[in-house]
Amino acid sequence: MSSSLSHSTSKELESEHDLLQVPFEMLNFEFRSSQKSVEKDLSILEKAMKEMLQKASKQNLSIQDQTNFLDKVVTKLRGVKRKLEETNIEETQLLNTCKDRIDHLNEYPLIDGAISRRKSTSNIDDNQYRTLSNWRRVRVSRVLVDYLLRFGHYETALALADSEKIKHLVNTQVFIQIRGIIEGLKNNDCGPALKWCSENRSRLRKISSNIEFDLRVQEFIELSKQDKKMEAVIHARKYLTNPIVDKGNSSAATTTNEDDNSCKITPEQTNTVKKIMAALAFGPKTLMAGYKELYDDKRWDELVEEFNKENYKLYGMTEEATLFKLLKAGLSALKTPYSYDENSINVNDPLSHPLFKELAKDLPFAHHHHSKLVCSICGDIMDHLNPPLVFPNGNVYSQKGVAENMAKNNGTFVDPRDGKSFQEEDGKKLFIM
C-alpha cells in the first residue's frame, strides 16, 4: 500500500472513531469493575482467614467450627469463581465485537486495495463494485442507527439494526442502558441519573464531570418549588458541601467519602451553592434576574443534554452524530456566498434547504480555483457552448435557459426573479475571463 493511499484511507476513516472506541471503553470498564469486585471479595475472605487463624492459635476450635468456617470459605470462593466466569463471557463478547468491527473496516475497498483513487467505479469489475456497494450500504445504515439512538428513536434504530444485520456494528447497548435515565429526567426525576452517577463516580471524577452536582442542585430547586425550605437546607448540607475531614484520621475520612453520596465541591460550585441558597430565600415566584432562571423547567432539558454529553465522554464518543459530521463534510464543498442569497436560490443546491443551511452556517465557504456559473432556469453550466446573457436589470441567465423561458412566454423573456419582461435582443452576451 502506498503512503499516499494510507493517508487518504486514514482520512476516510477518521469518522469511524466511535466504531472502535466504544467497545474498547466498555471492555475496559467491565475489566475494572470485575477487578474491583473480586479484590473486595478476596480482601474480605483474607481478613476472615486471619481472624480465624488468630482465634485458633488462642483456643482449640472444634472440628464442627472448623468445618463450618471452611464451608463458608468454599461458598465465598465459588461466588468469586461465578463472577469471574460471568465476566469472562462478557469480556469475550466485547472482544469479539472489537474483532468484528476491525474486520468490517478491513473490508473497506481502499484498505484492501481493490479500488484506489486512481480508479473510478466504472473501471472496476462486478465483484469489486458489489464489495464497495455493500460496504457503503452498511456504513449508511450504521450512521442512521447512531443518529436515531442519539435522538431517542430506540425502536426504529433497533428495527433498522435487525433488518440490516448490523447489531454487532452499532452501539445500541450504550444508549439502551441509559434510556430509563433519560426518561426519568424528562419526567423531572433525578433518581435514576444519580444512581448512574454513583455507579460511575470514579470515572466521572476522572473527566471532571459536574453532572452529579447539577443533579443535586436540581433536587434542591425542586424542594424549593414545593416550599420545603427546611428539607432543602438539609439536602444542601448533605450533598452540596464538602465533607468535614478529620485531620487526625484523614485517610479514613477519604475512604468514607468514596462510598457516601456527597460530591467534592469546587470553588466555582461553591458560588452556585450560594446562589441557590439566595434563590431559596426569594422563592419560586421571584422575578429577580439570575434567580428566576433557576426555577425554569427548561433546566430539565439542559440536564438531559448534559447527561448525554457526559455519557458520550465516558465511552469516548463524539458529541456530534456521525451523520452530521459527514453531511458537513459534503456541505463544506458546496457552500458559497450565493447559498445564503435569497435571490440566488438554486433548487438543485442542497443548501437551498433551511435545515442544511442551519447545519452549514458555521462552515467556511468552499475554496474553488475555477468558479462555474450555473443557470438558475435550466440548471446547466454556462460556457462557450451555452453562453451567459446579461439583461438590463443585471440578472444573468444561460442562452439555453432564456430560450426555454421564451418558449413558455410567447417569445418574450420574463425574468423569474423580478417578473420584468425583455426581448431576446435585450440580453447581451457575457464573456467569462
* Same domain assignment for residues 89 and 211: no
* pLDDT of 9 over the 80 cut: no
Q: Can you tell me which residue has the cell 448490523?
A: 166
What is the extent of the structural domain holding 103?
Answer: 3-139
Q: pLDDT digit string (tens) for 68-100?
A: 888 888 888 898 999 999 999 999 999 999 999
Domain-terminating residue out of 275, 291, 314: 314
Count, residues in the chain: 433
CB 184 within 8 A of CB 191: yes
User: Pairing relation of β-strands 396-398 and 388-390?
Assistant: antiparallel
State the pLDDT at residue 120: 53
Of 256, 289, 314, which residue constitutes the final position of a domain? 314
Residues 126 and 15 in one domain: yes
Q: Are residues 195 and 297 in the same domain?
A: yes
pLDDT confidence band for 250 (50 / 70 / 90): very low
Quickly tell me which residue has 456559473 as its cell.
373
Q: Looking at 318-327, 339-348, 370-379, 418-427, which range is the least confident one?
A: 339-348
Same domain? For 65 and 183 the reply is no
Q: How do beta strands 428-429 and 396-398 pair?
A: unpaired
Give the separation between CA 97 and CA 20, rounded to whole angstroms.
Answer: 9
Q: Residue 333 pLDDT > 60, yes or no?
A: yes
Q: Evaluate whether residue 399 is within a structural domain.
A: no
Instruction: Please give the residue that has the higher pLDDT: either 244 or 311.
Output: 311
Q: How many domains does the chain have?
A: 2
85 and 24, same domain (yes or no): yes
Tell me if 186 sits within 8 A of 304, measured CB to CB: yes
Residue 330 lies in a domain: no
Residue-wise DSSP of 96-124: HHHHHHHHHHHTSHHHHTSS-TTS-GGGS
Cα atoms in the Cβ-side hemisphere of radius 13 Å centred on 297? 4
How would you label 317-356 residue by residue, b for 16+ Cβ within 10 Å and e otherwise?
Answer: beeebbbeeebbeebeeebeeebeeeeeeeeebbbeeeeb
Q: Which of 277, 292, 314 is the last residue of a domain?
A: 314
Neighbours of 7 (CB within 10 A): 10
Residues 297 and 227 in one domain: yes
